[in-house]
């Protein structure tokens, strides 16, 4: 599906037969509603500008074949509860150069074991809730010293570097 050169809101559940969504530089998604693509097992790529401060709850929940979401643009982006839960093949979540993430909801990326993206923490700090990255073994955090609120078990099975200083309780079972 090729998006027209306009700003658009994605609401409700979209057609579950769509595999790839593309757009040019003038194609901009400005809002992603809760459950917009939830359960869509055919969606593989979303490759257009997403200009928003919120990826709502369960937006991509259970999109098991989703591999790429590009290019997310915003400041202090909030990623809702279970927004990407169960996206087992999600490898790339690309943020634009100056984008930052301010909050990551409960189980937002649970089971995203293929995710290898670099996460830009907000300069004002990033809140990470319980089990947000449960099972994410390949993530990289830019400015991870800005993590200002980490709930218990936020990074279950997250592979962290040896210079990480957070309480081991938060990194339960990290590799």
CA–CA separation, 109 and 107 (whole Å): 6
List Cα–Cα distances, 9 to 22, 35, 70, 109, 129, in angstroms. 15, 13, 16, 23, 27
pTM attached to this predicted model: 0.81
pLDDT, tens digit (0-9, with 9 covering 90-100), for 96-115: 888 888 899 999 999 998 99
Weakest-pLDDT range from 42-51, 70-79, 87-96, 136-145: 136-145
The residue-averaged pLDDT of 15-40 equals 85
Using alpha carbons, select from 85, 130, 140 the residue that is nearest to residue 103.
130
């Amino acid at each position: 599906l090729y998006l027209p050169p306009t700003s658009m809101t994605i609401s409700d559940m979209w057609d579950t037969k769509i595999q790839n969504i593309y757009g040019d530089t003038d194609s901009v998604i400005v809002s992603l509603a809760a459950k917009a693509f939830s359960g869509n097992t055919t969606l593989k790529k979303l490759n257009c500008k997403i200009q928003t401060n919120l990826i709502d709850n369960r937006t991509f929940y259970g999109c098991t074949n989703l591999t790429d979401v590009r290019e997310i643009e915003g400041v202090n982006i909030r990623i809702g509860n279970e927004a990407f839960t169960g996206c087992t093949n999600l490898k790339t979540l690309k943020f634009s150069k100056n984008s930052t993430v301010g909050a990551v909801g409960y189980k937002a990326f649970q089971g995203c074991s293929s995710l290898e993206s670099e996460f830009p923490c907000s300069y004002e700090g990033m809140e990470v809730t319980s089990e947000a990255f449960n099972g994410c073994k390949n993530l990289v955090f830019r400015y991870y010293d800005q993590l200002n609120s980490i709930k218990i078990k936020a990074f279950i099975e997250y592979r962290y570097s040896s210079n990480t200083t957070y309480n081991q309780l938060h990194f339960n079972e990290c590799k």
